[in-house]
Amino acid sequence: MFAEFLIFLREGLEGSMIVAILLAALRQLGETRHARAVWLGVAAALAVAVGGGVAAYLVLHAYDGTRLQTALEGGTYFVAAAVLTYMTFWMRRESAQLRGSLTHRARRALEQRGGMALAALAFVTVAREGLETVVFSLAIALAAPAWQAVLGAAIGLVAALALSRGVYGLGLRVNLGRFFAVMGTLLMLSAAGLLADGIEDYQALGWLPPGGALWDTSALLPEGGFAGDLLHTFLGYAARPSLLQVGAYAVYLGVVLALWLGRRDVRSAPAAGSARPTDKARAVRP
């Protein structure tokens, strides 16, 4: 549940930022009449993301208990871990320039084809965030009870919208660079757990060397219990992990956290709700 909460909080805020920046760009350009096109693109993107997520979930459960389901689930875990890692680093690199970049693209869209081009820009940008969320959520939903995934997603989305309202509606000052850095660190723990889950599935299929369990804490902290399931979803806890699972988990975290925490050259995004007078792109206010 906590992992779903983090994902929807991060992606929900990121999506809200994109919409707010696009609307602010229209205000700056004196083209607020095209705001409807932005919302049209956002609605279409959300429909695609939700429809794709539901379809993928139903397909996986249609093969419940089969080797194909195990193979698909394992692949989903690996893809989710890879995409989550990539997008976390990408957002950290691009967060400082996101406002200026989207404003420039919105201006070009209006100059070329007007409202429809702007709707397409909103669709592509928000759909990317939505599909990322679907991949992460699907992987975690497969490893946790459905009610926990839904509850965590709902709380995270409400928190994201509330934070977005505070930042872009009430002028709340938030250092978005620092926010995404903290979220990225926490989500990498979830990505490490997804990687271990994928290895477990492929070991069950005989596609990876199985090996014996390094320890057995199922009597003390079973994975099926509330605490064990929470730790499994958020940290990748396994009661009977193999050497390959533990090794991959440790190597992944060691490498990505060293890269993540060792990047001193990345500029943090300015506090949302504030603007530098000399930076016209960042001075855009929704």
| pLDDT above 70 (res 255) | yes
| pLDDT above 80 (res 275) | no
C-alpha torsion angle, residues 35, 13, 151, 222 (rounded to 10) = 150
Contacts of residue 239, Cβ cutoff 8 Å, sequence gap at least 6: 216, 217, 218, 221, 222, 223, 228
Contacts of residue 73, Cβ cutoff 8 Å, sequence gap at least 6: 60, 142, 201
Mean pLDDT (the chain) is 80
Q: Give the ranges where 63-144 is alpha helix by DSSP (H).
A: 67-94, 98-113, 115-142
- Domain positions in the chain: 2-272
**How far, in Å, CA of 123 to CA of 56, rounded?**
21
Read off the pLDDT of each residue in 11-33 and give the average, rounded to a whole number.
84
Residue 251 is predicted with a pLDDT of: 96
The pLDDT confidence band at residue 256, using thresholds 50, 70 and 90, is: very high
Read off the pLDDT of each residue in 60-78 and give the average, rounded to a whole number.
86
| pLDDT above 50 (res 285) | no
| pLDDT above 60 (res 227) | yes
Give the model confidence (pLDDT) of 123-176 as tens digits.
Answer: 988 888 888 888 877 777 776 666 777 787 888 888 888 888 777 666 567 676
The pLDDT confidence band at residue 78, using thresholds 50, 70 and 90, is: very high
| pLDDT above 50 (res 68) | yes
Residue 208 is predicted with a pLDDT of: 93
- Using alpha carbons, select from 6, 49, 4, 9 the residue that is nearest to residue 146: 4
Q: Which residue has the higher pLDDT, 265 or 49?
A: 49
Give the model confidence (pLDDT) of 175-187 as tens digits.
Answer: 767 777 777 788 8
| pLDDT above 50 (res 269) | no
Read off the pLDDT of each residue in 76-85 and give the average, rounded to a whole number.
89
| pLDDT above 60 (res 268) | no
- Does the predicted model carry a pTM greater than 0.85? no
Residue 267 is predicted with a pLDDT of: 44
